């Protein structure tokens, strides 16, 4: 009999009822229904316009919402269409991720500016399945990245053992290789599954001229007319994402024989390469790196040397002159440095190029040359990549790069963690198309040629008010015993801002004990000095007295994309995949 009672108690503990709408929801319903029991389409439309600040919404949209909610809530075969919502149905609408999303779901930025005006969703060593030293190389992580909207894929290309084919692998490690052609075919097939905007393939090239010619052939045969080839040796300005829809761009350094020819010319002119005192800031101490990583820690600086190409080169005559065929496919030039960083960051009015810096090289450079970096990124592309010691494929904070206008902040997409959550959240912006327009302050040039100074302490520009009402869906996506064996979970929410240092903060709600339907009703305000680069961080955890608190969901949302009003907030797992049911009900308001 005693054990029977325990069983009954256990069952009662896990019994679930639908939560009551928060007081704010009840108040809104009462206000817009005029105190009535139902909300008509006209009244719902008023609510959408006045409270949710929806633009361009029409009566037909309100009617469609009512119909969809009614169909979801009333599963009867002889369903009679309803023309209004009761309070519970209104609450259900507000808690619907599909019908009442948190952010703008379509492309809404101007896509006609040059590529240098955008942050671009960028992968690092995109072919690795795990860590940087021993994991397999494969086309699978490339496909996954493209399906999530990543627009820059990095491939390290090396000769095979017989020097007659090209492999993709992380050089001088024990990563098992994958054939380049397989990676290229995967890119071609999956490039535009998430976005129509251009895919950039960055090649870390360790090939002989003959194999470069083979790569040129592979690229042209795989991508054909979709491969963007510049008409001139170096672009004067990058095309726009709109102009490059469904196109592929190659970014790498020009073939070695051209660089060597330039080097000989320089020596003849008496301009020997100087040993610059800033050399050590371009990367980390070489002693901690493999030779390959040490090479990647250097800046890539394009020389965009002039080269007269015969018309016969259109035939891709690899045997006669292999490099021109390969070189002409390079849309975004990169290369090795000449002189110091000050020289490297000089803007050429007639040429655009790509420059690469390691994460810690950027931090050190930003201390003294912050404005030079901003000026450089207004026309040219800056790529930041993880330091070579991140063997476990971890990532770094992206904001130093973004604050300085760096377009390609390259991340290990297989390195799960909070930094990657931020990156995934940032590129949910602008409809998830992989291109986010940089803020105007990073593109502006003043009357005296001055640009934004990232080191300035700025005044508060905007204040975000957030209310965390409640959460739901864990009982559907998790086993009853996932969080606690004998009782419902004790959830709390962490909410805060990631962004420039002055704006970064995290706060948290009280924990709600023994409930699958936590109701917090807590309000937070966040003063923002650079709202354009702020990300709202939301994490839910389950309190555990004896061990580490359990993870229960997260999301990161660009503050500039937040839609005001009462919103349903979808939560994601640690890999960045959306839960089927777990969500929060929150309110956003800009003061």
Residue 205 pairs in a beta bridge with: 157
Residue 429 burial (C-beta neighbours within 10 Å; 0-12, 13-18, 19+): buried
- Cα–Cα distances (Å) from 398 to 151, 245, 265, 280, 568, in that order, read 16, 26, 39, 22, 27
Tell me, letter by letter, the H, E, C secondary structure of 51-77. Answer: CCCCCCCCHHHHHHHHHHHHHHHCCCC
> In the annotation, is 124 catalytic?
yes
Picking from 519, 554, 523, 518, the residue whose alpha carbon sits closest to that of residue 536 is 554
CB-CB contact of 420 with 414 (8 Å): no
Q: 3-state DSSP call for residue 579?
A: strand
Q: How far is CA 66 from CA 264, 283, 345, in A?
A: 74, 58, 57
Consecutive H or E run containing 266:
helix 256-268
Tokens of 241: 């994402």
132: closest CA among 349, 415, 335? 415
Compute the 3-state secondary structure of the chain and give helix, strand, coil in percent, each to the nearest 5.
30, 20, 45
Q: Among 92, 170, 333, 404, which one carries the catalytic annotation?
A: 170
Dist. CA 434–CA 536, nearest whole Å: 19
Q: How many angstroms separate the Cα of 113 from the Cα of each of 238, 251, 418? A: 9, 19, 31
340 by DSSP, 3-state: which? coil
Query: What is the secondary structure of 466-490 as a DSSP string?
Result: EEEEEEE-HHHHS-TTSS-SSS---
The phi, psi pair for 60, rounded to 5°, reads -65, -35
State the catalytic residue, choosing from 92, 124, 404, 541: 124
Contact 445, 347 (CB under 8 A): no
Residues facing residue 498 across a β-bridge: 535
CA 367/CA 346 separation, integer angstroms: 17
Please give the structure tokens belonging to residue 103: 């952010």
DSSP 239: -
Q: Residue 362 and residue 288: Cα distance in Å, rounded?
A: 18
**Distance between terminal CA atoms of the chain?**
60
| Among 436, 565, 552, 411, CA closest to 494 | 552
Q: Which pair of tokens denotes residue 344?
A: 């490297």
- How far apart are alpha carbons 120 and 139 in whole angstroms? 21
- Tell me, rounded to whole angstroms, the distance of Cα 94 from its chain centroid: 27
Rounded Cα gap, residues 377 and 375, in angstroms: 6
Strand order in the sheet with 354-358: 354-358, 381-385, 408-409
Q: Which residues are catalytic?
A: 124, 170
């Amino acid at each position: 009999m005693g054990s029977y009672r325990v069983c009954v108690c256990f069952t009662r503990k896990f019994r679930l009822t639908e939560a009551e709408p928060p007081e704010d929801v009840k108040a809104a319903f009462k206000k817009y229904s005029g105190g009535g029991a139902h909300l008509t389409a006209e009244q719902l439309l008023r609510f959408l316009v006045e409270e949710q600040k929806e633009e361009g919404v029409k009566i037909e949209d309100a009617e469609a919402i009512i119909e969809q909610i009614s169909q979801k809530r009333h599963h009867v075969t002889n369903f009679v269409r309803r023309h209004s919502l009761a309070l519970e149905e209104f609450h259900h609408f507000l808690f619907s991720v599909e019908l009442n999303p948190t952010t703008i779901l379509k492309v809404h930025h101007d896509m006609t500016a040059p590529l240098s005006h955008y942050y671009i969703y960028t992968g690092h060593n995109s072919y690795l399945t795990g860590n940087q030293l021993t994991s397999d190389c494969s086309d699978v992580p490339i496909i996954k990245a493209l399906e999530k909207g990543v627009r820059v894929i990095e491939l390290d290309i090396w000769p095979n053992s017989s020097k007659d084919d090209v492999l993709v692998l992380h050089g001088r490690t024990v990563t098992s290789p994958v054939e380049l052609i397989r990676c290229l075919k995967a890119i071609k097939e999956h490039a535009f599954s998430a976005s129509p905007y251009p895919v950039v393939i960055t090649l870390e090239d360790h090939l002989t001229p003959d194999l470069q010619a083979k790569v040129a052939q592979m690229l042209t045969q795989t991508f054909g007319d979709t491969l963007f080839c510049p008409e001139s040796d170096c672009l004067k300005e990058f095309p726009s994402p709109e102009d490059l829809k469904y196109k592929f761009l190659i970014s790498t350094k020009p073939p070695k024989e051209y660089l060597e020819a330039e080097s000989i010319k320089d020596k003849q002119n008496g301009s020997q390469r100087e040993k610059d005192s800033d050399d050590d800031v371009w990367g980390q101490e070489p002693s901690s790196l493999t030779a390959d990583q040490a090479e990647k820690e250097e800046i890539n600086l394009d020389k965009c040397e002039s080269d007269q190409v015969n018309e016969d080169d259109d035939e891709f005559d690899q045997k006669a002159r292999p490099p021109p065929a390969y070189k002409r496919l390079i849309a975004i030039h990169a290369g090795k440095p000449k002189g110091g960083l000050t020289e490297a960051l000089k803007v050429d009015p007639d040429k655009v190029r790509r420059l690469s810096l390691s994460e810690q090289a950027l931090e050190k450079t930003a201390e003294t040359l912050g404005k030079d970096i901003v000026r450089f990124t207004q026309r040219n592309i800056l790529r930041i990549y993880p330091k070579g010691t991140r063997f476990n494929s971890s990532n770094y904070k992206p904001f130093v790069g973004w604050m300085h206008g760096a377009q390609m902040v390259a991340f290990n997409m297989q390195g799960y963690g909070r930094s990657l959550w931020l990156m995934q959240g940032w590129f949910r912006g602008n409809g998830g198309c992989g291109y986010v327009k940089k803020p105007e302050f990073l593109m502006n040039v003043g009357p005296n040629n001055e640009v934004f100074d990232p080191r300035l302490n700025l005044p508060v520009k905007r204040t975000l008010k957030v209310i965390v009402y409640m959460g739901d869906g864990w009982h559907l996506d998790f086993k009853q015993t996932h969080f606690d064996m004998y009782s419902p979970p004790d959830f709390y929410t962490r909410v805060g801002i990631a962004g420039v240092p002055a704006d970064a903060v995290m706060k948290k709600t009280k924990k709600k004990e023994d409930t699958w339907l936590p109701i917090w009703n807590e309000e937070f305000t966040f003063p923002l000095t650079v709202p354009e680069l702020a990300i709202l961080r939301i994490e839910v955890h389950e309190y555990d007295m004896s061990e580490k608190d359990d993870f229960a969901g997260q999301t990161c949302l660009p503050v500039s994309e937040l839609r005001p009003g009462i919103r349903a907030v979808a939560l994601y797992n640690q890999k960045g995949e959306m839960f089927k049911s777990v969500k929060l009900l929150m309110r956003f308001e800009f003061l």
